[in-house]
Amino acid sequence: MSWSAQDEQFMRAALAEAKVAALADEVPVGALVVRNGEVIGRGLNRPIQDSDPTAHAEIVAIRAAAASEKNYRLNGTTLYVTLEPCAMCVGAMLHARIGRLVFGAYDPKAGAAGSVLDLCDDRRMNHQIEVNGGLLEDKCSGLLQKFFASRR
């Protein structure tokens, strides 16, 4: 897969969000929702801070984008996230009608965009999401590895 300069720019911005999460002792995952080259929602992991198990970076970014757009449908958007989304997050993306997912690190334990499950391309669903995984994978997985190593 060849990535556009814009894809890399947005993934670097998602990485910046992930670094803020790490500073707050949250698992370092960051996400952006983008439409037509403009960020309409940002998010970082905050389940500990919010006492909310649904406060994953993707959900936070989707909520921000929906509020910004005053619409629960986010057709024509791309979600950039530093870690392959879980089933809950892919479910939210499907309900929001996000068109494209770009993620950094693969999640072999909980990834629902191809690693453990592939909910994005399940034809039984009423919407499918284009998936492009592995952008800046080394940087994204390195940030997670460093975070977890510091906790051992």
Q: Which residues contact 138 (CB under 8 A, 6 or more apart)?
A: none
Decide if 58 is catalytic.
yes
- Distance (Å, rounded) from C-alpha 151 to C-alpha 149? 5
- Distance (Å, rounded) from C-alpha 101 to C-alpha 7? 11
- Distance (Å, rounded) from C-alpha 76 to C-alpha 133? 18
Catalytic residue, from 58, 84, 130, 137: name it: 58
* Structural Rg of the chain based on CA atoms: 14
- Catalytically annotated residues: 58
